[in-house]
């Protein structure tokens, strides 16, 4: 039993890491032409080009965007998830459907349609980006938190209340720690939405917010700078991967 | 430059559906007629956002390291917004126009062909400014490449930036005796199965290749009218599709699959899977050879009958709030110093739009001092017998016809 679990975990690690191998090779390749199995010349040209293209400030912008979206979408998703897990919401299916609708609509059409509305309302472009991406992240946080609340036993908080805790304290000291793994998972997904978006950031943001996905897309649309694209892609993939491991460890500790 | 016509159309539909209102008047707004000194004064302190295809590292470096510092000396901050598709910039401008914005986030766009035509139809571009730029005196007023952009009149709605020439490229180590005409290229491909292919239209380059073959199979340049008409299409297109269908089994992988983009074809060429590639921007070849992506034996294949040529432009969105700054940047980009710097293969290597005969002696000398490339012949040689592009209205029917008759008959 333990052996098969370990084998499964190893298989998962290989599954996740294998696609990164060519990326890592490309990132360190100054020259790699077929049919060579390995790069003919190693170097840091890709890194240099990526830095010259503005990878540094772009990752900062991506991080801030991801964090802001996570900070907004996680509590909103928790509230919506909690309400939907209970029985107090009328027409629950319809409400859930409305919350999930961003998953169904093509993001390109949504971005373009709402772009005009936001421009008409004179909403600053960075606020518009955060607003739209938060809405796009809500389905993930809501569904995750709804499941967590459905499995959550409110008895623990009632226990705390009978022992004299205020309602606020019961939530902060009892409910939140118990739901922390789910909250971390929801925040991770919301962060990913902000971190990896292209269409909304470019069109609604009006090009003012040059994030990593914008650099990756424009660099990848050409030939001859595979090393730079590889470095930029690794820069986009590794932070979420590290976060995923962190969230996983947090979940296992409990 | 990749185009985003289909997406722009989808965008228009989405706009109408979601915003629930009619499209704004399509007639292009015009710039105020005023002395250049007033434009310069207003531009001082403005920030100009130039949206451009970001796939060309050399182009991005030129704008950041050469053009932007020169603009700063004129008091204009030039900011480059990299996009993967020029259609993204047009989509944003159309949204802004729909919303009635007058201080939009796009001030200049590197554009030509279909994106220009689509924007022109929607009134996305400011007009009546590009012919008044002071440095415009150095261009030839009768140059057909500058007066028409894929059959759509330019009329001062965009300012020329550089010229391009459709070019076939081959590896001289593998093709010791290259063909000299397009018909010869097709025969060569047939005689060497698996060593040739072209990007599937509607890829920009694949689409040009198909038009070039069209010109060849109907008997040469000038046979096909530049303006599109259904009669002309019905008369000329069948011979084209017959020829390409006959060629198909001899293509790379038996024509079962085509590269989806010029970039993919370039990779096949770089990896030695095919012996020829093609580009509308031969200026980038020197760089690709220098950094080892393409073999040192890469050479340009010039065709006796000539190839399509065009110019790309800087267009100024009608929604721009910094249009004075944008005009100053467009004028700067047209100056002999900037054109010569950009033409240097070590910088970007793009062909100038200026008429060297109209330049002062010292300026002309700067162009004559440019180093010769072992890979790319000078523009005069490349553009010999250059053919003007067919109208943009030809593009979609030919791409669609290719899909139905050649790809999936």
Pick from A34, A53, A218: CB nearest B84: A218
* Tens of pLDDT, residues A135-179: 999 999 999 999 998 888 888 888 888 888 888 888 888 888 888
Paired tokens of A20: 């990164």
For residue A35, what pLDDT is reported? Answer: 65
Pick from A34, A224, A228: CB nearest B288: A224
Pick from A108, A112, A217: CB nearest B84: A217
For residue B26, what pLDDT is reported? Answer: 62
CA separation, residue B103 to residues B47, B51, B173, B265, B327 (Å) = 12, 15, 55, 41, 15
Pick from A35, A120, A203: CB nearest B88: A203
Q: In A, which residues are within 8 Å of B11 by CB distance? A: 108, 112
* Tens of pLDDT, residues B117-128: 999 999 999 999
- What is the ipTM metric for this complex? 0.79
Q: In B, which residues are within 8 Å of A217 by CB distance? A: 54, 83-84
For residue B388, what pLDDT is reported? Answer: 84
* Tens of pLDDT, residues B354-374: 999 999 999 999 998 888 778
Comparison of pLDDT for A125 and A88, the residue scoring more = A125
Q: Determine whether the interchain pair A224/B262 forms a contact, defined as Cβ–Cβ distance below 8 Å.
A: no
Under a CB-based contact definition with an 8 Å cutoff, are residues B172 and B146 in contact? no
How far is A109 from chain B, CA to nearest CA, in Å?
A: 5
Q: Determine whether the interchain pair A112/B95 forms a contact, defined as Cβ–Cβ distance below 8 Å.
A: yes
Pick from A35, A115, A223: CB nearest B263: A223
Q: What is the mean pLDDT of residues A218-234?
A: 81
Confidence check: pLDDT of B285 > 80:
yes
Confidence check: pLDDT of B63 > 90:
yes
Confidence check: pLDDT of B190 > 80:
yes
| Disruptive mutation site among A29, A115, A198, A213 for chain B (greatest number of B CBs within 10 Å) | A115
Q: What is the mean pLDDT of residues B264-287?
A: 90
| Disruptive mutation site among B14, B56, B280 for chain A (greatest number of A CBs within 10 Å) | B14
Residue B87: closest CA among chain A residues belongs to which residue? Answer: A203
Rounded Cα–Cα distance for residues B196 and B268 (Å):
10
Tell the burial category of B281 from Cβ atoms under 10 Å away from its Cβ (0-12, 13-18, 19+): buried
The neighbouring-strand residues paired with B159 are B314
How far is B229 from chain A, CA to nearest CA, in Å?
A: 33
Longest dimension (CA), chain A: 73
For residue B8, what pLDDT is reported? Answer: 45
Rounded Cα–Cα distance for residues A186 and A172 (Å):
18
Q: Determine whether the interchain pair A210/B293 forms a contact, defined as Cβ–Cβ distance below 8 Å.
A: no
CA separation, residue B338 to residues A241, B137, B332, B333 (Å) = 45, 15, 7, 6
Q: Determine whether the interchain pair A210/B81 forms a contact, defined as Cβ–Cβ distance below 8 Å.
A: yes
Q: In B, which residues are within 8 Å of A31 by CB distance? A: 291-292
Please indicate, yes or no, whether the overall pTM of this predicted structure exceeds 0.80. yes
For residue B14, what pLDDT is reported? Answer: 44
Q: Determine whether the interchain pair A214/B14 forms a contact, defined as Cβ–Cβ distance below 8 Å.
A: no
Q: Determine whether the interchain pair A223/B51 forms a contact, defined as Cβ–Cβ distance below 8 Å.
A: no
Q: Determine whether the interchain pair B18/A210 forms a contact, defined as Cβ–Cβ distance below 8 Å.
A: no
For residue B94, what pLDDT is reported? Answer: 93
Pick from B18, B53, B81: CB nearest A114: B18
Rounded Cα–Cα distance for residues A30 and A173 (Å):
54
Rounded Cα–Cα distance for residues B216 and B194 (Å):
22
Q: In A, which residues are within 8 Å of B15 by CB distance? A: 112-113, 116
* Tens of pLDDT, residues B303-345: 999 999 989 999 999 999 999 999 999 999 999 999 999 998 8
For residue A2, what pLDDT is reported? Answer: 67
Q: Give the phi and the psi of residue B162 in degrees, each rounded to 5.
A: -160, 170
How far is B357 from chain A, CA to nearest CA, in Å?
A: 35
Comparison of pLDDT for A241 and B207, the residue scoring more = B207
Q: How many beta carbons lie within 10 A of that of residue B297, not counting itself?
A: 13
| Disruptive mutation site among A26, A57, A106, A116 for chain B (greatest number of B CBs within 10 Å) | A116
For the four alpha carbons of B349, B350, B354 and B355, in that order, the dihedral sign comes to positive
Rounded Cα–Cα distance for residues B291 and A29 (Å):
12
Q: In A, which residues are within 8 Å of B99 by CB distance? A: 115-117, 119-120
Rounded Cα–Cα distance for residues A135 and A152 (Å):
25
Work out the pLDDT band at B92, boundaries 50, 70, 90.
very high
For residue B283, what pLDDT is reported? Answer: 79
Q: Determine whether the interchain pair A120/B100 forms a contact, defined as Cβ–Cβ distance below 8 Å.
A: yes
Q: How far apart are the first and last CA of chain A?
A: 22
Pick from A41, A210, A221: CB nearest B84: A221
* Tens of pLDDT, residues A51-90: 888 889 999 999 999 999 999 999 999 999 888 887 777 7
Return the minimum-mean-pLDDT range out of A76-85, A166-175, B76-85, B156-165: A166-175
How crowded is the C-beta side of B359, counted as CA atoms within 13 Å? 19
Omega within 30 of 0 (cis) for the link into B202: yes
Q: Which residue has the tokens 């704004």?
A: B24
Q: What is the DSSP string of B246-276?
A: HHGGGSGGGGSS--SSHHHHHHHHHTTSSSE
Work out the pLDDT band at B3, boundaries 50, 70, 90.
very low
Q: In B, which residues are within 8 Å of A213 by CB distance? A: none
């Amino acid at each position: 039993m333990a052996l098969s679990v370990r084998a499964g975990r190893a298989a998962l690690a290989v599954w996740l890491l294998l696609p990164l191998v060519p990326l890592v090779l490309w990132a360190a390749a100054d020259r790699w032409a077929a049919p060579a199995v390995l790069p003919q010349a190693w170097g840091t040209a890709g890194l240099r080009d990526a830095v010259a293209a503005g990878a540094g400030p772009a990752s900062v912008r991506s991080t801030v965007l991801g964090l802001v979206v996570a900070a907004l979408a996680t509590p909103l998703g928790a509230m919506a998830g909690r309400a939907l897990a209970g029985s107090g919401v009328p027409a629950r299916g319809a409400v859930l459907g409305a919350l999930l609708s961003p998953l169904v609509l093509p993001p390109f059409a949504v971005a373009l349609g709402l772009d005009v509305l936001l421009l008409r309302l004179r909403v600053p472009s960075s606020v518009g980006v955060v607003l739209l991406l938060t809405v796009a992240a809500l389905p993930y946080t809501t569904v995750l938190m709804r499941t967590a609340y459905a499995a959550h036993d409110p008895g623990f908080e009632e226990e705390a209340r009978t022992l004299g805790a205020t309602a606020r304290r019961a939530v902060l000291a009892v409910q939140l720690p118990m739901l922390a793994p789910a909250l971390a998972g929801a925040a991770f997904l919301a962060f990913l939405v902000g971190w990896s978006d292209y269409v909304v950031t470019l069109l609604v943001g009006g090009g003012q917010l040059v994030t990593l996905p914008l650099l990756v897309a424009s660099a990848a649309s050409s030939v001859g700078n595979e090393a730079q694209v590889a470095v930029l892609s690794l820069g986009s993939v590794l932070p979420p991967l590290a976060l995923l491991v962190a969230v996983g460890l947090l979940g296992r500790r409990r | 430059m990749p185009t985003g016509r289909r997406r722009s159309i989808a965008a228009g539909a989405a706009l109408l559906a979601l915003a629930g209102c009619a499209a704004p008047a399509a007639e292009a707004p015009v710039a105020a007629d005023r002395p250049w000194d007033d434009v310069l004064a207003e531009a001082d302190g403005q920030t100009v956002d130039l949206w451009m295809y970001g796939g060309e590292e050399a182009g991005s470096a030129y704008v950041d390291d050469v053009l932007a510092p020169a603009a700063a000396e004129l008091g204009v901050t030039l900011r480059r917004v990299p996009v993967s598709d020029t259609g993204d910039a047009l989509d944003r401008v159309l949204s802004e126009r729909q919303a009635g914005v007058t201080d939009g986030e796009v001030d200049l766009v590197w554009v030509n062909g279909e994106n220009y035509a689509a924007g022109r139809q929607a009134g996305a571009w400011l007009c009546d400014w590009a012919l008044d730029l002071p440095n415009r005196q150095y261009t030839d007023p009768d140059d057909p490449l500058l007066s028409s952009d894929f059959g759509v009149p330019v009329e001062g709605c965009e300012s020329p930036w550089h010229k391009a020439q459709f070019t076939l490229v081959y590896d001289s180590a593998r093709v010791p005796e290259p063909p000299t005409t397009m018909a010869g290229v097709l025969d060569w491909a047939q005689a060497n199965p698996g060593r040739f292919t072209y990007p599937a239209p509607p890829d920009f380059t694949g689409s040009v290749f198909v038009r070039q073959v069209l010109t060849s199979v109907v008997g040469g340049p000038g046979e096909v009218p530049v303006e599109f008409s259904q009669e002309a299409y019905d008369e000329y297109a069948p011979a084209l599709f017959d020829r390409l269908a006959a060629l198909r089994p001899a293509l790379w992988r038996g024509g079962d699959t085509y590269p989806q983009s010029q970039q993919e074809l370039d990779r096949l060429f770089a990896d030695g899977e095919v012996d020829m590639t093609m580009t509308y921007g031969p200026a980038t070849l020197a760089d690709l050879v220098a950094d080892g992506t393409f073999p040192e034996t890469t050479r340009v294949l010039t065709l006796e009958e000539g190839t399509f040529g065009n110019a790309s432009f800087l267009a100024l969105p009608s929604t721009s709030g910094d249009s004075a700054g944008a005009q100053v940047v467009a004028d700067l980009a047209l100056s002999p110093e900037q054109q010569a710097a950009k033409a240097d293969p070590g910088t970007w290597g793009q062909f100038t739009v200026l008429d060297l005969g109209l330049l002062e002696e010292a300026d002309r000398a700067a162009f004559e001092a440019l180093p010769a490339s072992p890979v790319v012949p000078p523009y005069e040689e490349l553009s010999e017998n250059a053919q003007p592009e067919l109208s943009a209205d030809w593009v979609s029917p030919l791409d669609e016809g290719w899909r139905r008759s050649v790809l999936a008959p």
